[in-house]
Structure 1
Amino acid sequence: MSKSIVIGSTLAVLGLGGLAFGAYQIQATNSAPQYAEIINVERITDTVETPHEVCDNVAVTRQRPSKDPNRIAGTAVGAIVGGVLGNQVGGGSGKKIATAAGAVAGGFAGREVQGRMQQGDTYTTTEQRCRTVTDTQEQFKGYDVEYRIDGKVFDARLDEAPKGERVPLVDGKPQWQAAGEASKSSS
């Protein structure tokens, strides 16, 4: 064979191969998107409330129980003292009236004095008082990611936020889905 035929044939084969390779590259590039565009990323948390009981020891002042709740002793002593003092006033039948009036007034005064003394008879003790308190805590749930592939909008819940504005596609799905993350269409 002649040298020019060999060179021409070789160049023709190489040219056709190059042309075929270029056409393949154009077709592969235009056939499917290479990236998913991130539209929105939102951190998701839940508020968890945990009630529990808190108890404190509190000093409480109480009134002692009365041994004479009707205050008979104070009334009797007051009536005797009032009667003795009333007897010192006046003479004759006026003395009897003054004694009776002194006894009544003394009885009333004795009753009131005993009541005040009983109110002042107190003691202090410690009591436990409890109340319910609610602790509030934010619990991380993940990231809701909204993304677009070829004009369609999808969303996914991820453990980590994607980095950047685009995510590479693997077999037509965002790269995080290669590990089995679920997504749903919301277009």
Structure 2
Amino acid sequence: MNKSMVLGVVLGAAAATAVGTIAGYRAYVAEDAPQFAEVLSINAVNESYTVPREECVQRQVTKVAPKKDEHQIAGTAVGAVVGGLIGNQVGGGSGKKIATLAGAAAGGYAGKKVQEDMQNKDTYTEVETHCATVNDKKQRVIGYDVEYKIADQVAVVRMDKKPASDQLPVKDGKLDLDKLQPGSTQ
């Protein structure tokens, strides 16, 4: 045998041994590697938000009726006439004229005040609607923080959906995110 042939046989045997050793090690590691991670806890992640809405209440309101005679002219006139007639009954001569004028003035003032008081007591009740915007506070779940354990290592992953079991799939010592529901991790 020549040297080339011996060298080829030796190298071939070494390569075959190396490939066999690597394949055996990978099979050994694959058998002992964890297939699942243990779920330790699941915590919902909430988001707060507000929803505006309009809230209305009905209220009874008492209002003063609109005045037809804002300056109380009718009351003043009637009071002046009545006061003047009463004043005219008092005294004689020029005192009678002064009493008539004083009676008319006092009657006019009294008539104005009586009409004003009557107008202020003339009320009506109306139902009014009062509205305001109220913000209701609400919460919604936006995901789940899942604490898990692979071998002796503990970690947390955020998932869109709550895991269906207490185990998560593992590949090559890490969570197999492809086997979890699509779009379920962040």
Whether the aligned pair in 2 keeps the contact of 1:86 and 1:99 (CA below 8 Å) is: yes
What amino acid sits opposite 1:72 in the alignment? I
User: Paired residue for 1:81?
Assistant: 82
Aligned pair in 2 of structure 1 residues 97, 177: CA closer, same or farther (>3 Å)? farther
Residue correspondence of structure 1 range 169-184 to structure 2 within 5 A: 169-174=170-175, 177-179=178-180, 180=182, 181-183=184-186
Q: Tell me which moved more, 167-176 or 127-136.
A: 167-176
Whether the aligned pair in 1 keeps the contact of 2:33 and 2:172 (CA below 8 Å) is: no
Count how many residue pairs are aligned between Structure 1 and Structure 2: 161
Which TM-score applies when normalising by structure 2?
0.66
Rounded to whole Å, the distance in 2 between the matches of 1:125 and 1:25 is 88
Q: What is the Cα deviation at residue 62 of structure 1?
A: 3.0
Rounded to whole Å, the distance in 1 between the matches of 2:160 and 2:52 is 30
Aligned pair in 2 of structure 1 residues 82, 112: CA closer, same or farther (>3 Å)? same
Aligned pair in 2 of structure 1 residues 168, 157: CA closer, same or farther (>3 Å)? closer
What amino acid sits opposite 2:161 in the alignment? D
Q: What is the Cα deviation at residue 41 of structure 1?
A: 2.6
| CA shift digits 1:59-108 (9 cap, x unpaired) | 44333222211111101111111122222223333333322222221111
Q: Structure 1 regions of 5+ residues with no counterpart? A: 1-19
Q: What is the Cα deviation at residue 174 of structure 1?
A: 3.3
Q: What is the Cα deviation at residue 35 of structure 1?
A: 4.1
Name the SS of the counterpart of 1:89 in structure 2.
coil
User: Paired residue for 1:146?
Assistant: 147
Rounded to whole Å, the distance in 1 between the matches of 2:111 and 2:43 is 80
Whether the aligned pair in 1 keeps the contact of 2:143 and 2:158 (CA below 8 Å) is: no
Residue correspondence of structure 1 range 70-109 to structure 2 within 5 A: 70-109=71-110
User: Paired residue for 1:159?
Assistant: 161
Q: What is the Cα deviation at residue 148 of structure 1?
A: 4.3
CA-based RMSD of the aligned residues comes to 3.3
User: Paired residue for 1:114?
Assistant: 115
Whether the aligned pair in 2 keeps the contact of 1:54 and 1:131 (CA below 8 Å) is: yes
Q: Tell me which moved more, 43-52 or 147-156.
A: 147-156
Rounded to whole Å, the distance in 2 between the matches of 1:29 and 1:66 is 99
Q: Structure 2 regions of 5+ residues with no counterpart? A: 1-20
Aligned pair in 2 of structure 1 residues 85, 167: CA closer, same or farther (>3 Å)? same
Aligned pair in 2 of structure 1 residues 24, 35: CA closer, same or farther (>3 Å)? same
Whether the aligned pair in 2 keeps the contact of 1:145 and 1:158 (CA below 8 Å) is: no
